[in-house]
Amino acid sequence: MTTPILEIRNLHARIEEREILKGVNLTIPAGQVHAIMGRNGSGKSTLSYVLAGKEDYEITEGEILLNGENILEMDPAERAVAGIFLAFQYPIEIPGVATMTFLKAAMNAQRKARGESELSTPDFMRAVKEAGAQLNIDSDMLKRPLNVGFSGGEKKRAEILQMALLKPALCVLDETDSGLDIDALQVVSKGVNALRDANRSMLVITHYQRLLNHIVPDVVHVFSDGRIVESGDKDLALQLEAKGYADFDATAA
Amino acid sequence: MADYDIPTLKEEIDRETVESVLALDVDKYKYGFETDIESDMAPKGLSEDTVRFISAKKNEPQWMLDWRLEAYRRFLTMTEPTWAKVHYPQIDLQDMYYYAAPKSSPAPKSLDEVDPALIAMYDKLGVPLKEREILAGVERPKVAVDAVMDSVSVVTTFREELAKVGIIFCSISEAIREYPELVQKYLASVVPVSDNYYATLNSAVFTDGSFVYIPKGVRCPMELSTYFRINEKKTGQFERTLIIAEADSYVSYLEGCTAPMRDEAQLHAAVVELVALDNAEIKYSTVQNWYPGDKDGKGGIYNFVTKRGDCRGVNSKISWTQVETGSAITWKYPSCILRGDGSRGEFYSIAISNGYQQVDSGTKMLHLGKNTSSRIIAKGIAAGFSDNTYRGQVSAHAKAKNARNFTQCDSLLIGDKCGAHTVPYIESRNGTAVFEHEATTSKISDDQMFYCQQRGLSEEDAVALIVNGFVRDVLQHLPMEFMVETQKLISISLEGSVG
Ligand SMILES: Nc1ncnc2c1ncn2[C@@H]1O[C@H](COP(=O)(O)OP(=O)(O)OP(=O)(O)O)[C@@H](O)[C@H]1O
Ligand SMILES: [Mg+2]
């Protein structure tokens, strides 16, 4: 069997003495899209932050393997270079830094870390224009400071733009559909689907089954109280939509 | 001329504080090399003989020597300012040299006569001295350079080309000999000899600096620039710069400074005077990168500078843009006297402090004429254990009808052991004056750092990027030449500020 892109084994994580992740097991083979659904506060964003290496969390047990390699010792930038991309639930504002400047800095930082040469300005511009057009992002938006004064939808599109340009091995999308109007949802989903690839895996966190009509997952997981309590195919999302989480909480207990 | 009434100026200076500075973790100071060039030095220490020695070395006329001696006598009656909180180690004025000149050719006629070691040094600093090379590069904008090492101007480029339009760009020593009427008319007309302790000391012992004269109606066709370099040990640098823009003229002037790493602190006490006549505009940009001292608190430049511009004519304009990254102590308030009706003063500043650096900088906008306006944008970035103070004064005098000022001071803190302070003094003796002041203090948040790192940026790259964003409003006012350099300098200055 080929190595899965992501393998999480019995992951326990705490923040300030409080255990949030309580034994997560999750394997995503290359090319697959997995969705995670779960109540508010069940620990979905925490899982995404722990994957990306945010400092605030203490990992008390377990492993995270990316392409078979344990990444727990890596800092966030190293993980990014190794291929983890997190589309934030709440993208952060970077005042004074034009979106374009940020994109170039990020792309070149990753290239440099991989020992590749910096992108030439024309190559960079071409890549940004292409990816931006797909996501209805115009050059005016690219000149504005990243996320500053962006509408909810613009922020989410900017996240996907970064994802498209950085070409990660693992895309973690945390509620990328929240705050999107119907048209924007289409645009963003199209952007995400365009990135589906045999060598890339995705973890899509959402509260709404509707997103999964656009980005059709291979597997759906139900997250409850810091772990995965149920997994199934895309119909599981429909079931959840109809019945709510109560049944699964019982399983967890 | 020298003593018009600015009642608050001296009091204000007396209120200024510079706290103790011990050290800075900038072992990577890239200009720290020393160049082995034989020098001709004055005897150590400060005395009337030292003043006479300097004047004689410069072949100065009698009036200049008398002027210096008068300043020296005044200086003897003054005491080093002891106003509040100044704890830096005593500077022993007798344990210092006041004159050091590269021995080879004190007054080269052309680049060919300049010691190749000197040219090599400036090359190392990235200062383009070779006119031919500059001319060959089609894309690079032309910049005329006056390079001052220790006490002597070593070379000034593009002189002939400038002379064709009547512009004088030379060392102040040469100006004293060649253009005495201009020097006598304007020297100390903006910063009076006894303005403050360090300005008076400068008047007695200043050794070199640049002189610029832009005739009526001339727009200077290139940037003029001076690079100051302290090379010798135990040498103070006392440069004097005088820029005169006649009616309807324009000039943009750049100043850059570096010094080798030294164990002992070195004193830099410059005086810069700008005079803008009717409708003239002077744009003065500085990138100050003097050696800030090592991490154990040794050495570094004490930068006590008096810079002042006089908008003497109607509708004249003076704009100061400064990037302050070096020095152990920075004490500097480039100011504008808005005397001409309708004149305008601007101050754009980026002040970065790391390690134990101490920056106390800001500006004074003194509105004297009618319909005068000023704008201040100051960005202070404090990291490490440093302290970064913006100190600014805006005042409107009784006759300054409709004076306008807008001030924006933003501070950015990196880490939690540094300090940023904003100390505005606002005085209005005129009911029609409108002064606005905005101030913010922010920190680089952990969320911002995480976000940038998640995209692959290292901690240091992330800080540099965020800081560059923070200073963007000011960066835009720098000439292209300095913009790129400044962005790099920001990264270097903040190395080691996180993690
Ligand atoms: N810094 C913190 N200190 C203490 N508890 C925290 C901290 N950060 C998050 N938590 C808690 O961890 C739990 C999981 O939060 P998380 O954001 O991962 O939930 P989520 O599943 O993403 O929720 P939502 O669907 O609302 O986005 C919550 O109870 C939250 O309050
Ligand atoms: Mg969440």
Q: At what angle do helices A121-134 and A182-194 cross, to 10 degrees?
A: 130
pLDDT score of A189: 95
Q: Quote the ligand 2 centre to A36 CA distance (angstroms).
A: 11
**Ligand 1 atom having least distance to the Cα of A42:** 21
**Residue from A19, A20, A57, A227 to probe ligand 1 pocket by mutation (most atoms less than 8 Å from CB):** A20
Question: How many cross-chain Cβ pairs, A to B, lie less than 8 Å apart?
Answer: 75
pLDDT score, position B150: 60
> pLDDT band at B453, cuts 50/70/90?
very high
B92 pLDDT band, cuts 50/70/90, is: confident
Structure confidence at residue B77 (pLDDT): 94
What element of type H or E holds B487?
A: helix B480-493
Residues A78-91: what's their mean pLDDT?
96
- What is the pLDDT, as a whole number, of residue B102? 61
Q: Which of A50, A54, A119, A155 to mutate to probe the B interface, most B CBs <10 Å?
A: A54
More confident residue, B498 or A76: A76
Distance from CA of A57 to the nearest CA of B (A): 13
Mean pLDDT of B224-245: 79
pLDDT score at B113: 58
Q: Which residues line ligand 1 (CB under 6 A)?
A: A 15-16, 18, 20, 38, 40-46, 89
| pLDDT confidence bin for B28, thresholds 50/70/90 | very low
Range of weakest confidence among B30-34, B156-160, B328-332: B30-34
* Average pLDDT estimate for A13-23: 95
**Burial class of residue B141 in the structure, from the number of CB atoms within 10 Å of its CB (0-12 exposed, 13-18 middle, 19+ buried):** exposed
Contact between B457 and A77 using a beta-carbon 8 Å cutoff: yes
Which string of DSSP letters, residue by residue, matches B402-442? T-EEEEEEEEEE-SSS-EEEEEEEEEES-TT-EEEEEEEEE
Contact B455 A80 (CB under 8 A): yes
Q: How confident is the model at residue B118 (pLDDT cuts 50, 70, 90)?
A: low
Chain B residue whose CA is closest to A93: B448
For residue A108, the surrounding DSSP H or E stretch is helix A99-113
Would you say residue B229 has pLDDT above 60? yes
Distance CA A160, CA A176 (A): 9
Chain B CB contacts of A94 below 8 Å: 448, 451-452, 465-466, 469
Mean pLDDT of B126-148: 51
Flag if A162 and B453 touch (Cβ within 8 Å): no
CA distance A89 to chain B (A): 12
pLDDT above 50: residue B12: no
Which of chain A's residues have a Cβ under 8 Å away from the Cβ of B445?
A: 92
The pLDDT score that the predictor gives to residue B122 is 57
| Interface check A150 vs B, CB under 8 A | no
Give the least confident one: B109-118, B125-134, B279-288: B125-134
Could you say which of B445, B465, B473 has the minimum Cβ distance to residue A97? B465
For residue A16, the CA-to-ligand 1 centroid distance in Å is 12
- Report the range of poorest mean pLDDT among A144-158, B440-454, B464-478: B464-478
Q: Which atom of ligand 1 is nearest to the CA of A207?
A: 25
Residue A117's pLDDT band (boundaries 50, 70, 90)?
A: very high
- Given a contact cutoff of 8 angstroms between Cβ atoms, the answer to whether B195 and B280 are in contact is no
pLDDT at B20: 21
Nearest CA to ligand 1 atom 16: A43
Give the tens place of pLDDT for each residue, B141-190: 566 666 666 656 656 667 788 889 999 998 898 899 999 999 999 999 99
**Whole-number Å distance between alpha carbons of B288 and A110:** 32
Query: Which residue's CA is the nearest one to ligand 1's atom 31?
Result: A41
Confidence of residue A108 (pLDDT cuts 50, 70, 90): very high
What is residue B435's predicted lDDT score, i.e. its pLDDT?
A: 95
Task: Enter the pTM of the model.
Answer: 0.82
CB contact under 8 A, A54 and B448: no
Confidence (pLDDT) at B19 = 23
Q: What angle do CA B213, B217, B223 make, to 5 degrees?
A: 55
Q: Quick one: pLDDT at residue B43? A: 74
Ligand nearest to the CA of A21: 1
For chain B, how far is it from start to end, CA to CA, in angstroms? 54
CB B408 within 8 A of CB B435: no
Residue with tokens 């790493």: B261
Tell me which of A33 and B496 has the higher pLDDT: A33
Was domain A6-252 assigned CATH 3.40.50.1100? no
In this structure, which residues have their CB less than 5 angstroms from ion ligand 2?
A: A 44-45, 89
| Token reading at B221 | 């066709």
- The mean pLDDT of B224-250, rounded to a whole number, is 82
